[in-house]
């Protein structure tokens, strides 16, 4: 469709693509966090969850079929998200050849201003995270399917736990601006900001990374108490 193609060429079109792909990732991390909380129900629960994700719908699409579908959607979304971000950032950098000597911000908060750097950090984190807990290539003693054990193994290293917790703060900042922003880009915010919806978005932005962080935090605490 001509409309859609030309739409993509506009800055708003690119933003909408970022919003949709970002939204897909928001939904994914919410689900991911929900699964992670099963850690606190014990090894069986979380390993079972991992197993469920692999076998779900296998009658139709085969073992790990749904999972791979989701992964493909996520990878495509991520590529589009980063690609659009790159294009838009370049436009933005070019739009002010002479910079201001002084800048004071009235509305742009820290989380909004760090979106680009946050994105870079999250991308690097993602590679490490997949290496450690999905493929296991970066984790000595990784066992496929034994999620609980792998988590304990990984986060018994306090440095790595601290790194993950730090990355969740980065994620929270990225989501804090990103979630509300995606509604804005899709044109679903037509009222003044600081509304209930804005608060809800911020709640999700904090709750999801916090849920993730609970796992390394508790493992570190367990380690401390054992000593």
Binding site for another protein (CB under 8 A): 1-7, 9-16, 88, 91-92, 94-109, 112-113, 115, 177, 180-181, 183-193
What is the closest distance, in whole angstroms, from the C-beta atom of residue 100 to another protein in the complex? 6
SS3 (DSSP) at 82: helix
What share of residues in the chain are helix, strand, coil (percent, to 5)? 80, 0, 20
**Minimum distance from residue 173 beta carbon to another protein (Å):** 14
Q: How far is the CB of 82 from another protein (least distance, A)?
A: 15
Q: Of 22 and 211, which has the nearer Cβ to another protein?
A: 22
Of all helices (H) and strands (E), which one includes residue 63? none
Q: 139 in helix, strand or coil?
A: coil
Largest separation between any pair of C-alpha atoms in the chain:
65
CB of residue 21 vs another protein: minimum separation in angstroms? 15
State which residue, 114 or 156, has the beta carbon closest to another protein.
Answer: 114
Quick check: 169 and 162 in contact, CB under 8 A? no
- Measured from the CB atom, the residue of 106 and 137 that comes closer to another protein is 106
d(CA 227, CA 60): 49
Q: Smaller CB distance to another protein: residue 16 or 172?
A: 16
Contact criterion met (CB below 8 Å) for 151 and 215 = yes
């Amino acid at each position: 469709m001509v409309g859609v193609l030309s739409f993509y060429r506009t800055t708003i079109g690119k933003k909408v693509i970022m919003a949709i792909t970002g939204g897909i990732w928001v939904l994914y991390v919410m689900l991911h966090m929900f699964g992670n909380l099963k850690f606190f129900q014990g090894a069986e629960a979380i390993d079972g969850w991992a197993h469920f994700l692999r076998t779900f719908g296998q009658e139709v699409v085969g073992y790990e079929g749904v999972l791979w579908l989701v992964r493909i959607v996520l990878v495509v979304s991520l590529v589009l998200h980063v690609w659009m971000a790159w294009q838009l950032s370049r436009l933005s950098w070019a739009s002010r050849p002479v910079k201001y000597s002084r800048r004071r911000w009235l509305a742009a908060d820290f989380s909004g201003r760090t979106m680009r750097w946050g994105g870079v950090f999250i991308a690097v984190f993602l590679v490490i995270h997949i290496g450690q807990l999905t493929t296991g290539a970066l984790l000595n003693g990784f066992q496929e399917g034994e999620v609980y054990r792998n988590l304990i193994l990984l986060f018994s290293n306090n440095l790595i736990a601290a790194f993950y917790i730090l990355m969740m703060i980065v994620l929270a900042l990225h989501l804090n601006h990103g979630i509300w922003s995606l509604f804005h880009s899709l044109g679903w915010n037509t009222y003044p900001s600081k509304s209930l919806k804005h608060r809800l978005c911020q709640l999700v932005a904090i709750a999801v990374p916090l849920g993730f962080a609970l796992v390394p935090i508790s493992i570190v605490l367990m380690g401390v108490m054992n000593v």
